[in-house]
Amino acid sequence: MGDSDAVGAFTRRRRATFAAGRVASLQPMNGRSAAVCQSSAIADISTDNGSEKKREHSLERALFKSKNEKKKRRNDIGDRLSCHRTQESLLTSTSGYNNYRGILNWCVVMLVLSNARLFLENLLRYGVLVDPIQVVSLFLNDPYSWPAACLVIVSNVFIVVALYTERQLSKGSFSELVGFLVHCINMAIMLTFPAAVVLLVPSVTPVGGAFVLGIYTILFLKLYSYKDVNMWCRELSTAKAKKLARSLSCPSPQYFNRGDRKVCYPGNLTIRDMYYFVFAPTLCYELNFPRSPGIRMSFLLRRLFEMLFFTQLLVGLTQQWMIPIIQSSMKPLEDMDLSRMTERLLRLAVPNHLLWLMFFYWFFHSSMNFTAELLRFGDRQFYQDWWNSETVTYFWQNWNIPVHKWCLRHFYKPLLRSGFSKIVSQSAVFLLSAFFHEYLVSVPLRMFRLWAFMGMMAQLPLAWFVGRFLRGNYGNAAVWMSIIIGQPFAVLMYVHDYYVLHYRQEAD
Q: State how far the Cα of 43 lies from the Cα of 169, in Å rounded to an integer.
A: 104
Prior bond of 402 cis (ω within 30°) = no
For the chain, give the longest Cα–Cα distance.
140
Cα 147 to its chain centre, rounded Å, is 35
Asked if residues 277 and 315 have their Cβ atoms less than 8 Å apart, the reply is no
Prior bond of 194 cis (ω within 30°) = no
**Residue among 183, 410, 437, 496 flagged as catalytic:** 437
Q: At what angle do helices 459-469 and 422-445 cross, to 10 degrees?
A: 140
Q: Cα torsion for 152, 153, 155, 160, to the nearest 10°?
A: 160
Asked if residues 477 and 391 have their Cβ atoms less than 8 Å apart, the reply is no
Q: State how far the Cα of 390 lies from the Cα of 469, in Å rounded to an integer.
A: 11
Residue closest to 154 by CA, chosen among 226, 215, 204:
215
Asked if residues 162 and 227 have their Cβ atoms less than 8 Å apart, the reply is yes
- In the residue annotation, 437 being an active-site residue is answered as yes
Q: Which ranges of 368-421 does DSSP label H, i.e. alpha helix?
A: 368-375, 392-398, 401-407, 413-417
Asked if residues 165 and 186 have their Cβ atoms less than 8 Å apart, the reply is yes
Q: In the chain, count of helices (H) and strands (E)?
A: 22, 0
Q: State how far the Cα of 340 lies from the Cα of 221, in Å rounded to an integer.
A: 42
Q: Cα torsion for 304, 305, 311, 314, to the nearest 10°?
A: -140
- Torsions phi, psi for 312 (to 5 deg): -65, -40
Residues acting as catalytic residues: 437
